[in-house]
Amino acid sequence: MNAIISASELADELAGDRPPVLLDVRWQLSLAKAAGAAPYDGRAEYEAGHLPGAVFVDLDAELAGPPGAGGRHPLPDVTAFGAVMRRAGVSAGRPVVVYDGGQGWAAARAWWLLRWTGHRDVRVLDGGLAAWTGALSSEVPAPAEGDFVPEPGAVGLLDADGAAALARSGLLLDARAGERYRGEVEPIDRVGGHIPGAVSAPTTENVGPDGRFLPPEVLADRFKSLGASGNEVGVYCGSGVSGAHEVLALAVAGIPAALYAGSWSQWSSDESRPVATGPDPQ
């Protein structure tokens, strides 16, 4: 099964006899609050226009638990997540397509959560809303209740100890911007730098200027050049959102990978955890 779907393929499936459930997960990592500006409002963007039939899902409130010891976007309560998905019309036997405003990070977070909890047919709209050329709707649908019951563990999940171990025994990729990996800047978390042994692999380099993923063979070559060949692979980022996008890129390339969901926001909050800086993994 492909992990992504093009806008034209989605249009065809929506017109078919087994249309997918559509989830709109518009979200942006915003520093606006610190600057005194209003934060990004994904729900307002959704209400102004979305793919017909799509249901809005709030990343901060429904795809993550409360910030704390688990990081800025810890995993949501599984029971609550299942209830959100069922209210959105998600069923085990019906395909799901997730999209966001175009960056792909939020959609990938929903994709990863559904995959981790056992849904077998979920894809991300490649390029997001910007790739869609069809009509938009402002009508908020009321889908029939779905039957999806989450069963965690279907794909790889790392905790802090697991991430530390994988950085030594396999390949741990850091999906953040290179300057954050090197510790030159840190706009959000307690301290800059990276998990010792992790390799810098900004997820922004997995897509082209249009926000769509690079061809699978190009992605495969990139990850193999970083050490993915024959190794177990894991990914982390700032808080488990852009890291999900890198896991998605690896899936497009045919490479399974685990996600360290707590990511740097959890790791860096623990003063007992070592921190490396500079371009060298160690």
Catalytic residue, from 98, 237, 252, 255: name it.
Answer: 237
Q: Which residues of 31-49 are buried (b: 16+ CB within 10 A; e: fewer)?
A: eeeeeeeeeeebeebbeee
- Asked if 167 contacts 184 with a C-beta cutoff of 8 angstroms, the reply is no
Say what the alpha-carbon torsion angle 142, 148, 149, 154 is, to the nearest 10 degrees: -130
Residue 73, class by beta-carbon neighbours within 10 Å (0-12 exposed, 13-18 middle, 19+ buried)? Answer: buried
Helix (H) or strand (E) holding 234: strand 233-236
For the question of residue 80 being annotated catalytic, the response is no
Backbone dihedral region for residue 154 (phi beyond 0: left; psi -120 to 50: alpha; all else: beta): alpha
Cβ neighbours of 208 (radius 10 Å) = 11
Q: Which residues are catalytic?
A: 237
